Amino acid sequence: MAKVKTKTKTWKLGEICQGGVVTVEVTGQKIAVIGKEWDYSTGSRKSSDQSKAQEFTRLEVEANEYNAERQVLNFLGNLMHSWAADEIAKWIEPQVTYTSKNFW
């Protein structure tokens, strides 16, 4: 059986996002959206290393679950500004195949 590769991307959004940092991990059809608190011990600039930022919230969902896309969009929308949520959702969408599309 082939090993499924995890695709990971981190956004350092600062003040437009609760905590300031969001990491998304996609493994096969599993999506994890992780909200993290900015680690000021490494600096306050966007170029600072936030790899050790502490997690404060997480959503894990399978893309084949009913309303998975809506769950991800709602979670992102509660964490951050709508523009940033949309950009992250656009990154996730080609990585997975949602089985139930939203009706709206």
Q: What is the pLDDT of residues 87-103, one digit of tens each?
A: 999 999 999 998 876 55
> Do 33 and 22 touch, CB atoms closer than 8 A?
yes
pTM for this entry: 0.89
Q: What is the pLDDT of residue 101?
A: 64
Domain boundaries, the chain: 6-42+50-95
